[in-house]
Amino acid sequence: IDHLGRGANGSVDKVKNIFTGETYARKSVKIKKRGAAVEASFEREIQILRTRTHPSIPRFIDVYRDGATLNVLMEPAAELNLKQYLENPWKVQSCTQDILNWLRDITAGVAALHAPDSNNMSIRHGDIKPSNILVALRRTEANMATKLILIDFGASRAVPANDSESSSNCAKTPMYAAPEINEKERHGRKADIFSLACVFVELLT
C-alpha cells in the first residue's frame, strides 16, 4: 500500500493483510539479479530476525518466495527513519525525554544483538547509522509515543561471544565507521559501539 524505501540490494514496502487489516514491512530482494552473495546476506538477515527478539529489533512475521524474489515480512512498517528525522525534526514531535528514551531504545537493541545466545554466539551489526534506525510510533495507555528500532542486518555477522575481534569484511559508512574498520584492521563489537556513539552525537547536537 506504500513504498517505504530502497537500498543497494532491495526495496521495502508497506503491505496489508486483507483478512486481518494488519500492516507489515515487506523487504524484497530479486535473488537471480543480485547473485549468490546477496542471497546469502539476505538469508543471514532473516535468520537474525528469526532468532533475536527484542522491542528495538523488528519482529519477524514470515518469509516467502515469489518467483525469483525473496520476501520477508516484519513489524513495524514505520515510514520514517532517524536520518529523515534529523533532516526534518518537525516531522515528529519530540522533547528531551523522548530523545533520552530513544538513546535507551537503540542501546538496548544493540545490547540484545551482542548478547550471547545458547550457542555462545553474538551478532555484530556492522553498519549502525541513522538510516538503519526506524522512528516508529507506538501506542501507550496515555497517548502515542515514538520508539527507535534497529534495522538492516545484511552486513551483520554471528561471531563467538568470547572472540571479540576478526578481520572479516564489514560494510561501512565512513562517517559512522570505527577507525579500525576504515584502516582495515581487526575489529569487533566495539566498532558497533563507536558507530552508536556517532549516532548519539548527531542526535544530541
d(CA 120, CA 116): 5
> Where along the chain do its domains lie?
2-75, 82-204
Cβ proximity of 25 and 45 under 8 Å: no
One of 3.40.190.10, 1.10.3720.10, 3.90.550.10, 1.10.510.10 is the CATH number of 82-204, namely: 1.10.510.10
Kindly report, residue by residue over 153-174, the tens digit of the pLDDT: 988 888 888 766 665 555 568 8
| 120-158 pLDDT per residue, tens | 999 999 899 999 999 987 655 555 678 899 999 988 888
Q: Which CATH class is domain 2-75?
A: alpha beta
Instruction: Say if residues 92 and 103 touch (Cβ distance below 8 Å).
Output: no
Instruction: Look at residues 181, 163, 106, 174 and name the one whose alpha carbon lies nearest to residue 136.
Output: 106
Q: Greater confidence, 187 or 26?
A: 26
- State the pLDDT confidence band at 26, using cuts at 50, 70 and 90: very high
Cβ-contact 29, 42 below 8 angstroms: yes
Q: Which of 6-15, 73-82, 158-167 shows the lowest per-residue confidence on average (mean pLDDT)?
A: 158-167
Q: Are 148 and 133 in contact (CB under 8 A)?
A: yes
Kindly report the average pLDDT of the chain as a whole number: 86
Q: Record the cell numbers describing residue 180, joined without a space.
A: 579500525
